[in-house]
Every structure is written in structure tokens, then in C-alpha cells.
Amino acid sequence: MNETNLSYWEYKTWLSNIDFTIIGSGIVGLSCALRLRTKFPKAKILILERGMLPNGASTKNAGFACFGSLSEILDDLNSHTEAEVLRLIQKRYQGLQLLRQHLGDQIIDYVQYGGYELFTTHDKILYEDCLSKIEQINSLLKPIFKSDVFCSKENIFNFNNIQPKYILNQFEGQINTGQMMEALLQKAQNSNIKILNNCTVTNFEDNNTAVEIKTDQFTFSTHKLLIATNGFASQLGIKQVKPARAQVLITHPIENLHIKGTFHLDKGYYYFRNIDNRILFGGGRNLDFKTEETTNLGQTQLIQQKLEEILHEVILPDTKFEIDRRWSGIMGVGDQKKSIIKPLSQHVFCGVRQGGMGVAIGSLVGTELADLL
């Protein structure tokens, strides 16, 4: 759209007197907009989205309502203090509760089948270490969950080439990502929040009275700007966030599929679940971190082949299956797991770096971003 071609009506209705502009219509952006609407009932709120649909990870994720497998928590304790790890898990738990309260379990198709961690035959040391630390981590998490989170369980799903027991997290569940995002978008529209899709922000400038925003379609100004682009944050100058692509595939329906739950393998770098009698399976970023540090949505042969191999050898060893669809999403990660929620200047704010936990913490990050105002 040529800017000079914007009609009087288009400009006046959509782009004039904007109080709050949010970049990104994912979980964080929509949660932020809904919170702003509660705080400022008469404000003019606009969301700009680069994709036809929320384009980073919000509609691309695997729909895990999870807050960290045992090996991930132990790994985090190597680089964070106990208090920091506890705070991270508390926020993920609170965020999931908030999402469920906002939308309702039925709408997002929330089911709590539990989350299982599997260990490969090569991971014997990690496996034994995790088993030996179940009690220690349960007592660390007691203040949040009021009961034991982790226990060991026999291989009831007949996976192959793994250690004899899983570690089960009884509090983890799964959601329907599409239904969740549709419900959030619907809620935003019902709250008179405007969303413009296929619109990429190329630059912005805080000029002390307002923020001028340049997009690939038009330029306009807004009173406050809130950045909720997570995996794409570095493109807007937020250098503490690196993009991390996650590749995913899903099988065609499988008759009498007996696998139910969310599953982590290889320190959480692989993850799979049941949905509609299919297996949805993603991960493998650790095979080639450098290539996967990208904002390009696409797949690589290396990772897709590995996913298929694990499907054949571990997850569905005696079952015929065919792949129906492959895709990828872009997460935002950094050297710390804590999200960045802060002012960048007088009128510009950001809520980014979900570290692969957007479903869990997105609602909370969006709310906290809005509460900076």
C-alpha cells in the first residue's frame, strides 16, 4: 500500500490518535492488549502483525502446558540460583493458571495427562542422576505445588531404545494451540482492539512526545509502543534475544494410538505428544544450533531426518505411520531464562525472551508488560 494512497477514512479510523501500539499478535501481544483494555477502557489500541496469522511461535508451538522437565530444572540449577529457578517455575505455573482462567479449559482443550521425561540408552548417567534427585526437587517445588511433582514410572507406552523408567510430572498438560489463539484473537476483537496483519515494522523512533513507527506499508505515530515480538526482537534492536527455530512434524492419524501425554527426550531438545490420534513431534535444534539461530521459517533435511528416525526407533517402533505436515516456529532465547520486561525509552516498552516457554508464561508476560504503564 502506497502511503499517499491511504484514504482519509483509512487513516482516521485505523491510524490516528493511537494510544497504544503493540508489535506482535501472539500470546504476549494479545494478553498485553487485553490487560491495557481493562486498565484504559477508552484507549485506542492497535496491534501490528507481520504475518497473515501470529507469525512467530504462538500458532506454531506444540501446545505443551509445561513448566520444565526434571533434567531441565537440574540443568537450570547449574546456571541460576535456587531462588531464581523457583521464581521461573512459579511464573510458568502462574502463567498457565492465568491462561486457563482467561479462556477456560474447554475452549483451549486443556487436558492433564501428565508430562513424561524419557532417557535414551546413551543417557544412563543423566537418567541415574535425575532418579536420585527426584526427592530433592520435589521438596524444592513443594511451596508452589503443595505436593510431589515428580515420580518414576514404568515404560507403559512401549517406547523402544530408552531407559526402563520415565520420570512423570503429574501437573503437566496439553492444549490445542489453534483454539487458544483463535479464542484470544476473538477476545481482542470483542474488546475493540484493532489488529492489522501483513504489516512489518521496519523502524521506530521515540521523539519524547510520541513514537513514530515506520512499517513496510505506512508511517504513523502512537503515544506508547509495546514490543511483543519475542523471536524477532533482535530485528527491532533488542540484542539480548536470539531467534531459535523449532522444527515440527505431525503424522497422519494412527489407528488405536495408545500414547497419551506430553513427552520430553534428550534434555527437552525433543518433545512429542498425542493429538487427534496423531503424534506431533518437534525439536532437534541441538543438532545444529548455529543454523537454527534464524528467523527464517523452514526445515532442514538434517533435523527432519532425525525426527523421522526417532519416530521409527523410539516412539512408534512397531507402528506404520506417514508424515502429514511439517512446519517450524521461531522462539526467543538468551543466556538467561528470565523474560525481559522493561522500558526501552520513555514511550517504548518490551516483553520478550520467552525461552521456549511461551504457552506457559505468555499470558503473564503480556500482563506484566501492560502493567509497566
- Determine the Cα–Cα distance for residues 279 and 316; give it in Å rounded to an integer: 9
Mean pLDDT of all residues belonging to the chain = 94
Tens-digit pLDDT profile for residues 248-307? 999 999 999 999 999 999 988 999 999 999 999 999 999 999 999 999 999 999 999 999
Residue 60 has pLDDT above 80, yes or no: yes
Cα–Cα dist 51/254, whole Å: 32
Mention every residue, 6+ apart, whose C-beta is less than 8 A from residue 140: 82, 85, 86
Q: What pTM was computed for the model?
A: 0.94
Lowest-pLDDT choice from 4-8, 44-48, 337-341: 4-8
- Residue found under cell 520415565: 166
Spatial neighbors of 131 by CB under 8 A, at least 6 apart, are 152, 165, 167
In the block, which residue shows the cell 508464561?
361
Strand ranges for the chain from DSSP E: 18-23, 45-48, 64-65, 115-118, 150-154, 165-169, 173-174, 194-196, 201-206, 211-215, 219-227, 242-251, 262-265, 270-275, 278-283, 323-333, 340-343, 348-352
Confidence of residue 4 (pLDDT cuts 50, 70, 90): low
Q: Is the pLDDT of residue 16 over 60?
A: yes
Output the nine-digit C-alpha cell for 110: 486443556
DSSP letter (8 states) at residue 311: I
pLDDT value at residue 56: 82
- What pLDDT shows up at residue 3? 61
CA distances from 316 to 163, 248, 254, 324 (A): 16, 16, 10, 15
pLDDT at 329: 94
pLDDT tens digits along 341-365 = 999 999 999 999 998 888 999 999 9
d(CA 329, CA 289): 15
State the DSSP H helix or E strand holding residue 54, giving kind and residue range, or none if neither.
Answer: none
pLDDT tens-place string over residues 83-108: 999 999 999 999 999 999 999 999 99
Q: What is the mean pLDDT of residues 28-54?
A: 97
Tell the residue number behind the cell numbers 506430553, with chain if given. 262
Instruction: Give tens-digit pLDDT for 190-210.
Output: 999 999 999 999 999 999 999
pLDDT at 336: 84
- Is a pLDDT exceeding 90 seen at residue 246? yes
Please determine, for residue 2, whether its predicted confidence score (pLDDT) is greater than 60: no
**Beta strands 340-343; 165-169: pairing state:** unpaired
Q: How does pLDDT run across 145-173, given as a tens digit for each residue?
A: 999 999 999 999 999 999 999 999 999 99
| Beta-bridge partner residues of 246 | 329
Range 9-15, long-range pairs (CB < 8 A, 24+ positions): 11/220, 14/46, 14/194, 14/196, 15/46, 15/218, 15/220
Mean of the pLDDT values across residues 331-345?
92
Secondary structure of residue 223 in the 3-state scheme: strand
